[in-house]
Amino acid sequence: MKTLTKIGLDAKKSTVLSELLNDLLANYSVLYQNVRGYHWNIKGDRFFELHLKFEELYNNLFLKIDEIAERILTLGHVPNHKASDYLKISAIHETHEVADGLFAMENILFSFQELLNKQRHLLDLADEISDEGTSSLMSDYIREQEKMVWMYSAYLDK
């Protein structure tokens, strides 16, 4: 059995990382669809600002979904692609309330907390095996999302 991947990382630990990245991919994918729903269906006096903010966010999430899937491939594994699988494993759940802007913002904040926890765990594991590619990706996501949590919280005045 091979002990190293094609990119020189511990094969067993890369498998664990890939499984966790697939979990992260599922969470990002569910959040992406939720935010698309918010963008399409938002109503009320904050429609214009939130409609644009949600579009900005789902475009950002779309890029991250692709990056995570490509990282899984780089580690020598296969990214999950089925929505039914995503819904089974994601800690972020489908939302049915998509027209209320405040609910949407609160749900996004909860989702960021879930993502941040998962990404910090992935960062620790990636650091253990000197996986700079995954570490860098997770560090970038964490830094960006911590700022977004601050900004979304300020918007909600929480």
Domains of the chain: 11-156 (1.20.1260.10)
Contact 120, 142 (CB under 8 A): yes
What DSSP letter does each residue of 113-128 carry, written as one string?
A: HHHHHHHHHHHHHHHH
What CA–CA distance (Å, rounded) separates 103 from 50? Answer: 12
Tokens found for residue 50: 């939130």
pLDDT band at residue 13 using 50, 70 and 90 as cut-offs: very high
Mean of pLDDT values over 52-63: 98
Map residue 79 onto helix, strand or coil: coil
Percent of the chain with pLDDT over 70: 99
Q: Give Cα 122 distance to the centre of its chain.
A: 12
Mean of the pLDDT values across residues 109-124? 98
Name the nearest CA neighbour of 6 among 88, 77, 97.
77
The reply to whether the predicted model has a pTM over 0.85 is yes
Distance between CA atoms of 158 and 143, rounded to whole angstroms? 20
Q: Which residues pair with 4 in a beta bridge?
A: 10
